[in-house]
Structure 1
Amino acid sequence: MSDGSPSTPSIPLTRGEVPRDALVAWLNDYLNVGAYPDPSLNGLQIGGTNVIRRVAVSVDTSLKTLQHAADSGADLLIAHHGLFWGQPLAVTGPHRERLRAALSADLNLYVSHIPLDAHPEVGNNAMIARALTLQNLRPFGDWQGQKIGLAGELPFEQTLQDFADRVQKLTGEICLVHGGGQSPTVRRLGVLSGSGAGSVAEAATMGLDTLLTGEPEHKHFHDAFEYGVNVVYAGHYETEVFGVRALAARLEDEFGLAWQFLHHPTGL
């Protein structure tokens, strides 16, 4: 008798070789893709070969990324940003070329956008919080009524400059720093990867002194100074490399699948 809990799909092949549909079902369940009203088409966006032996992961799905995945011998590309965002697209121009590159290589494309930001184990925000050794973690970062980021406390107070230098070493990206806080120190931190510039007010309400996010937006420039919150912008791309890599490592542990991270930074 079933207890009502989700079941793990049967994966009958040998370790290092997984049926595509079983792996997609496992990913959908593990990432809880149905829990978020995400305009991205989370899940399998392009179907290819039926058996997965090698995985490539990337932040974006571009023509260059798809070609790189095909050239690397991948059967599956897992990306954070996919090809479909809630509206139909004509199969013309660059969109056609991206689809053609995947289809001609029989390459599967699986996408996890908001679910991979929010995931408690391999999500972008969870991985950043772990790398920064944040303590006393709690939900942060409202997205359509759900919290997809994390707030916590550093083990010790740091100057804002020292903290920005630490983030730069973590991401490899020179940070843009808006010192809007009441003091130039960091202890209580909110983490929201990608486009989190609009969460300054929430950070202030929660008593956080600093927000770490990806890219700035002009309309939120003054928020940091008016709400009294430091903001460290570490790059949209660079704050979202963590989830796909952690997910790929999880697939290696679970199924023995070989994987490769395709690094195509945007500088944004």
Structure 2
Amino acid sequence: MIELEKFQAIIEELAPAALADKYDPPHFWRKPGKKLQKIGVCVDPTVQNVRMAQQDGVDLLISHHPCFEQDEELFAGQEMGVFVLHSAWNKAPDGNTAVLARLLNLRETVQDGELLTGRVEVSLRDLLLSCQRLLNTPVMPYVGDLNAKVHHVLLISGPGFAPFYKEEWDKYIAGGCDTILSAELGRFALSYLSRHNIKMIDLGHSAMARPGMEHLAYTLQTRLKIFQCQVNFYPDLYAVNYQTASFYPGIEN
């Protein structure tokens, strides 16, 4: 069992709040008790993950993505807390972005927040297959000639194909990047990046965070073993992108 304050100190060490976007600091969506004996980790607070965590007697569920207001009913009569990491763990030195790059065998990596560049010498087909196997996602949108060679990759955790990343695309394209891996591949990115001959793979908004959150669970298992605190990973996630539908009024409903 670990004191809540000690747990918060460990999380701050792993994913410093100063790394997070200003509007998106790590926070308790629901505050747990002062002592934690069982902790759960997940990408999304889906109904399945929440119910399984409750059945396991989890005191605190650490989620990458936040809960929605309507999720309150899932916790009616329950004492389980929820802690949301999100952007702080995307940007952490050993967080979602860094873990995914490592598993994809990217070399000479340079990380800047949720953006990371690295080098690899494979075909787009082989890179796509590696992403599909790693993320257990058999259907994965891509753009480009499958026989084309990939040399310099830009990896962006989260909605990196959203239009507000255009300035970042331009900067890294000027630096020689020929391939972008991210999520939320929509019409603007397709049109703009195709004109620059950029190859693209949409990893899925939640799927691309799974390896990093699994790594967090493993790290906490190791760190909290001395406290006899159990840590479980709950694998269910939302298998859709979050923002693309907002470009088409009514679809999000």
Say whether the fold is shared (TM-score over 0.5).
yes
| Deviation sequence 1:209-231 (CA, Å, 0-9, x none) | 11111231232221221122111
Per the TM alignment, residue 45 of structure 1 is displaced from its structure 2 partner at its CA by 2.2
Q: Residue 180 of structure 1: CA displacement?
A: 7.5
2:101 and 2:55 map into 1 onto residues whose CA distance is 34
Alignment match of 1:79 (pick from 41, 59, 63)? 63
- For 1:254, the aligned partner's letter is R
Q: Is the 8 A contact 1:180 1:229 kept in 2?
A: no
The one-letter code of the counterpart of 1:177 is Y
Partner SS state of residue 96, structure 1: helix
Give the 3-state SS of the residue equivalent to 2:44 in structure 1.
coil
Which whole-Å CA distance do the structure 2 matches of 1:62 and 1:172 have between them? 18
The letter of the residue matching 1:75 is D
Secondary structure, in 3 states, of the residue corresponding to 1:265? coil
Distance 2:177 2:129 in 1: 19
Describe the superposition over 1:5-36 as per-residue Cα deviations: whole angstroms up to 9, x where unpaired: xxxxxxxxxxxx21122202321343111333
Which has the bigger relative contact order, CA under 8 A and spacing at least 6? 2
Q: Residue 92 of structure 2 aligns with which residue?
A: 119
Aligned-residue sequence identity (percent) comes to 21
Q: Which residue of 1 aligns with 2:72?
A: 96
Contact 1:38–1:114 under 8 Å retained in 2: no
Query: Matches of 2:63 and 2:10 in 1, distance apart?
Result: 16
Deviates more, 1:189-198 or 1:215-224: 215-224
Structure 1 segments of 4+ aligned residues over 6 angstroms from their partners: none
CA distance in 1, matches of 2:133, 2:21: 34
* RMSD of aligned Cα (Å): 2.1
The answer to whether the aligner puts 1:196 opposite 2:160 as a matched pair is yes
Aligned to 1:249, the other structure's residue is in SS state helix
- 1:260 corresponds in structure 2 to 232
Aligned residue type for 1:176 = P
Greater Cα shift, 104-113 or 33-42 = 33-42
- Other-structure match for 2:80: 107
Structure 2 residue 117 is matched with structure 1 residue 151: yes
d(CA) in 2 for partners of 1:180, 1:223:
17
1:51 to 35, 48, 73: 35
What residue ranges of structure 2 are gaps of 5+ in the alignment?
Answer: 241-253
**What amino acid sits opposite 2:237 in the alignment?**
P
Per-residue Cα deviation, 1:153-196 (whole angstroms, up to 9, x for no partner): 12xx2111111011101101122111189x82112111112211
Q: TM (normalized to structure 1)?
A: 0.79
CA distance in 2 between partners of 1:128 and 1:168 (Å): 12
Counterpart check, 1:234 vs 2:206 = no
Q: Separation in 2 of the partners of 1:124 and 1:30?
A: 12
Q: CA deviation at 1:99?
A: 4.5
Q: Does structure 2 conserve the Cα–Cα contact (< 8 Å) formed by 1:248 and 1:259?
A: yes
Determine helix, strand or coil for the equivalent of 1:57.
strand
SS at match of 1:120: coil
User: 1:222 aligned to 167, 185, 191, which one?
Assistant: 191
Task: In structure 1, list runs of 5 or more residues that go unmatched.
Answer: 1-16, 141-146
Query: How far is the alpha carbon of 1:41 from its aligned partner?
Result: 4.7
User: Counterparts of 1:214 and 1:37 in 2: how far apart (Å)?
Assistant: 18
Q: State the TM-score, normalized to the length of structure 2.
A: 0.83
Taking the aligned partners of 1:31 and 1:217, their CA distance within structure 2 comes to 30
1:106-141 deviations in whole A, cap 9, x for unaligned? 1121110111111111x111001110121111135x
8 A contact 1:28–1:43 mirrored in 2: no
Partner in structure 1 of residue 251 of structure 2? none
Partner of 1:162: 126
